[in-house]
Amino acid sequence: MIRASLQQVIAPEDAAADHTSLDPQDWTELRAQAHRMLDDMLDYVATIRQRPVWTPMPPDVRQHFRADISRDPVPLAQVHREFMNYVLPYAGGNVHPGFMGWVQGGGTATGMLAEMLAGGLNANLGGRDHAPIEVERQMVTWVRKLFDFPDSASGLFVTGTSMANLLAVLVARTQCLGKAVRRDGVGQSGLRAYASAAAHGCIAQAMDLAGFGSDALRLVPVDASFRMSMEALRVLIAQDLAAGLRPFLIVGSAGTVDVGAVDDLRGIAELCHEQGMWFHVDGAYGALGMLSPFVAPQLEGLSAADSIAFDFHKWGQVPYDAGFFLVKDGSQHHETFASPAAYLRRETRGLAAGSPWPCDFGPDLSRGFRALKTWFTVKVHGADAIGAAITRSCELARYLEKRVSASPALELIAPAQLNIVCFRYRAADADRVNSRIVVGLQESGIAAPSVTTVNGKLAIRAALFNHRTREADLDALVDGVLRLGAEGK
């Protein structure tokens, strides 16, 4: 056996013989420093409540990053100190329970540790036959079962739902126009897609990037609950058909970004079936609601989708970034992306075995090990605990809604459908006043909601995604809004 001779090539750990290796000269020193770094980060997460949600960067901090990076090495301890002094205190704030500004999860220590393992392993998940890809496949199976998709389904980690929605447009395109579109381009194919006017902008962008142009996405008016109007949708499709265009894709939103509306997924599924169209669901944060007994019934029809896009870094609390794309018929997914290449030759044995590879299902050949932090998060916390945190965030939204409704000075702009509440301080010049309140709250460090526009009204948006958020954080938000509103009158 050739394997037995392996010992012959093992050289002693002789850093001196290896000038150009980037391994440390002294592992003991590196190790001590590494443990300090780990302790600092655990402290950061464990004591996050003692910090402001967000702190504006003073000019000298911003200036610090305008300097040139020297070509010479800087000791790790010093770079770490720079991180502690200039980066950590001025982070975006989504680890903090007072962060409610945008749809971002809070992360966990578990996810952080898994990222450390992934960083050391340095796996490329593009292809080849190794265990990290099996971890990703196990997550694909888990996702497939969560959404009640068949064995033939395929899935892939991507950066986020913006990317996953682009992949959905591409797969739907191939399904409609056939594989030749990959060679011939989209030309004047007259394809039209449909999504709610409240859908995320990345869907129009996906149509743009895929060559159809954003105008090839029809934005369908919403009803009073901000759900896509099925009637208007049918009318638009009929008009396009009459004009000789080709309706090929409907994107349902499972949790709109502004108010958390869920489209009539069952209705869209039936319409797609009837018209031979692709049914994709943008479930950026909402889809993982399947884990929550409270949210799951609101997602009825989701399993009838042809594809689903969602993020583990939102309600799933996995550290950024960990988006996911799931396709019911894996062969259509494969047909859209697989390409032959001499340097990607497959074998039945050795490192080049294990085909198909993830790179056959998406545009990335270089792919980090997003699956590991997701695998750790789901296993260590358990799907039920993640589901409970999702349910809790919806309960908190109801608590906030109640507090808003009980305050005569406040106006509810959009009631909580899931875990997002839009409201504002009543004032003559409400847009300006509420915009100022939100900036004031962010700068106070107490809470970080954001601003959006609903039905033409500027609203304070509280999106409750952090698993650490409690009633007290919402009380602080409401009290802060009332105080800053009164001050500004």
Q: Which of 245, 294, 444, 482 is the binder for its own copies (CB under 8 A)?
A: 444
Which residue matches tokens 């709250």? 441
Q: How far is the CB of 429 from its own copies (least distance, A)?
A: 16
Which residue matches tokens 């980090």? 368
Q: Which of 380, 409, 412, 482 is the binder for its own copies (CB under 8 A)?
A: 380
Binders in 338-367 for its own copies, by CB under 8 A: 339-345, 347, 349-352, 363-367
Residue number, 163 or 195, with CB nearest to its own copies: 163
Total residues contacting its own copies by CB under 8 A comes to 204
Tell me if 387 sits within 8 A of 293, measured CB to CB.
Answer: yes
Decide: is 148 part of the binding site for its own copies (CB under 8 A).
no
d(CA 419, CA 295): 10
Decide: is 334 part of the binding site for its own copies (CB under 8 A).
no
Decide: is 294 part of the binding site for its own copies (CB under 8 A).
no
**Bridge partners (DSSP) listed for residue 247:** 192
Eight-class DSSP state of 86: I
DSSP string, 123-145: --TTSSS-HHHHHHHHHHHHHHH
Decide: is 409 part of the binding site for its own copies (CB under 8 A).
no
Binders in 205-224 for its own copies, by CB under 8 A: 205-216
Amino acid, single-letter form, for residue 407: S
Decide: is 421 part of the binding site for its own copies (CB under 8 A).
no
Tell me if 319 sits within 8 A of 313, measured CB to CB.
Answer: yes
Decide: is 321 part of the binding site for its own copies (CB under 8 A).
yes
Tell me if 306 sits within 8 A of 153, measured CB to CB.
Answer: no
Q: Which of 269, 386, 416, 478 is the binder for its own copies (CB under 8 A)?
A: 386
Decide: is 92 part of the binding site for its own copies (CB under 8 A).
yes
Tell me if 258 sits within 8 A of 422, measured CB to CB.
Answer: yes
DSSP H or E stretch at residue 280: strand 278-282
Binders in 39-68 for its own copies, by CB under 8 A: 39, 41-42, 44-47, 49-50, 52, 54, 56-57, 61-62, 64-68
Give residues with Cβ within 8 angstroms of 474, minimum separation 6. 396, 399, 400, 403, 462, 464
Decide: is 379 part of the binding site for its own copies (CB under 8 A).
yes
Q: How far is the CB of 274 from its own copies (least distance, A)?
A: 26
Q: Which of 156, 236, 272, 378 is the binder for its own copies (CB under 8 A)?
A: 378
Q: Which of 13, 60, 151, 243 is the binder for its own copies (CB under 8 A)?
A: 13
